[in-house]
Structure 1
Amino acid sequence: MPHFSSSDIVVITLWVLAVFSVVTWTLIVVKGWAQWRLSQENKRFGLAFWNAKGLLEAERITASATGPLARLAHCGFTALRDMHKGGEQNLQHSGDQQDILERCLRSQVQKEQNRLDSGLMVLASIGSTAPFVGLFGTVWGIMHALQDISKSGSAGLDVVAGPIGEALIATALGIATAIPAVLAYNYGLRRTRLYVAEMEDFTTDFLHLAMKSGFRVE
């Protein structure tokens, strides 16, 4: 079993924080790009969908569109088509037509929300644990400094500068890692709530359109 000195523990802590930082900035870039693309897709689809002459044209537009709203509309049109297919009814398509459609749309909204939430928990975990990891490195650095003082019998700057410097670096890196992670998590959570609200509004509007058409696409 390998033996780690106090200095080695601090170095390992610094590497752990460095990995946390890389993961944080990777998620920031990936999630930022994904949310920008999602916003553009929803904007294009919403404009095309509400300019359609009827549900049949809207269904054709949906078939070639991408994004959460497009997938939500596709789910709705699929449910409407399945309602009027021949054959035996299953549990998924049993009940009132409005309830069937609403159940399908709500389920799709939940799926989209889960997709939007991916990565946010990692940011939250890093934001909450990074300062404590840095503090752990600080404690070990101070212990290292105290050990050096005990061995040398002197508290001179040349004895404590190295260990104390490592401890301060661990603290600073822990805070520097946590701040962008927390900010990115809060921003991502807010954007997710806005997208979910947008999908909830679309769900309500789609239900009203389906009711006006007698739950038929034609």
Structure 2
Amino acid sequence: MLTTILAAGGTAAAENQFGLQAALKEGGLISQSVFTILVLMSIVSFYILFSKLFEQQKIINQAKRVRQGFWTSNSLREGAAKLEKNSAYKQLVDDGLQAQDQHAKLTDPVEAHDWLHGSLARSEAAINSKLGGGLAFLATVGATAPFIGLFGTVVGIYRALIKIGASGDPSIDKVAGPVGEALIMTALGLVVAVPAVLAYNWLQRRNKSIAEDLSAFSNDVLGFLASNGAVKPTMAGATTTAKAPVKPAAATTTAGQAGGVQTRP
């Protein structure tokens, strides 16, 4: 039993000679700098991922509240009062009402529809731009992290080969360890890049869905303003009025019957 424990301890000590710390030491300042850059990239990427998820979910919840009760209001100002202060949908409504007030003050004749549409589109673009903030960093990390890790690997292998050549012992046990440690940098680059790419694509897809909802709401606000409140979207949960029973179609008589008239299909 004692010999087994001592043997296991000796194996663990031998394994500790190879690994990340050994690779950083073998690669020198350049490998350590590459490792630090990759770690910072990973931390910032995950921060952007979670912060954007929180921001997107907030707007998605706002959209649910808009669908539930906004269009039951008698006016846009009354409906806007029901929304949160920093709601993206409230911003669209406020900008639309402001554009309507500004149109009456224009000295150069401009179509009201064009003026309102441009103002709402500008407000919608500002919201989408804010949602897209930080995604460029994720794309940059996904594109550059593998090459940064590869650079650390090249430097690590170069330094390892120089050290092995200086020692004059090119045996496989002397080459495999340092070269394998240098390859850790490439693995780290992939570990940083893959989550960043996945996060970028996922957040972009969610932003596209949010942008579609904002565009639909902006179009509804434009219709409401352009019609002085006569046009508003139909609420999904609204109670539908009972339809009048459909009268059965009168039976058509065919030619050959008494007084019948031949009907065309």
TM-score range, shorter chain: 0.7 to 0.9
Larger radius of gyration: 2
Residue 195 of structure 1: how far off its partner (Å): 1.3
**TM-score between the two structures when normalised by the length of structure 1:** 0.85
- Point out 4+ residue stretches in structure 1 off by more than 6 angstroms: none
1:171 pairs, out of 166, 186, 210, with 186
Relative distance call for 1:59 and 1:19 in structure 2 (3 A) is: closer
Return the alpha-carbon distance in structure 2 between the equivalents of residues 205 and 149 of structure 1: 72
Q: Indicate the percent of aligned positions where both proteins have the same amino acid.
A: 34
Can you give the 5+ residue segments of structure 2 that lack an aligned partner in the other structure? 1-25, 231-265
1:187 pairs, out of 189, 202, 208, with 202
Equivalent residue number for residue 92 of structure 2? 72
Bigger fraction of residues in helix: 1
Can you give the 5+ residue segments of structure 1 that lack an aligned partner in the other structure? none
Backbone CA RMSD of aligned residues? 2.2
Q: How far does the alpha carbon of each residue in 1:143-185 deviate from its partner, in whole angstroms, 9 at most, with x for none?
A: 1121012101112356335532432221111000001100010
1:120 pairs, out of 135, 156, 177, with 135
1:1-218 map, 5 Å: 6-62=27-83, 64-84=84-104, 89=106, 95-156=110-171, 159-161=174-176, 163-213=178-228
Could you tell which deviates more after superposition, 137-146 or 174-183?
137-146
Structure 2 counterpart of 1:131, one-letter code: P
Equivalent residue number for residue 19 of structure 2? none
Count matched residues. 205
Return the alpha-carbon distance in structure 1 between the equivalents of residues 112 and 159 of structure 2: 71
Return the alpha-carbon distance in structure 1 between the equivalents of residues 157 and 70 of structure 2: 63
Residue 61 of structure 1: how far off its partner (Å): 3.0
Relative distance call for 1:89 and 1:144 in structure 2 (3 A) is: same
Residue 90 of structure 1: how far off its partner (Å): 5.9
On the 8 A contact 1:132/1:174 being kept in 2, the answer is: yes
Relative distance call for 1:60 and 1:80 in structure 2 (3 A) is: farther
Structure 2 counterpart of 1:47, one-letter code: Q
Name the structure, 1 or 2, with higher relative contact order (CA <8 Å, separation 6+). 1
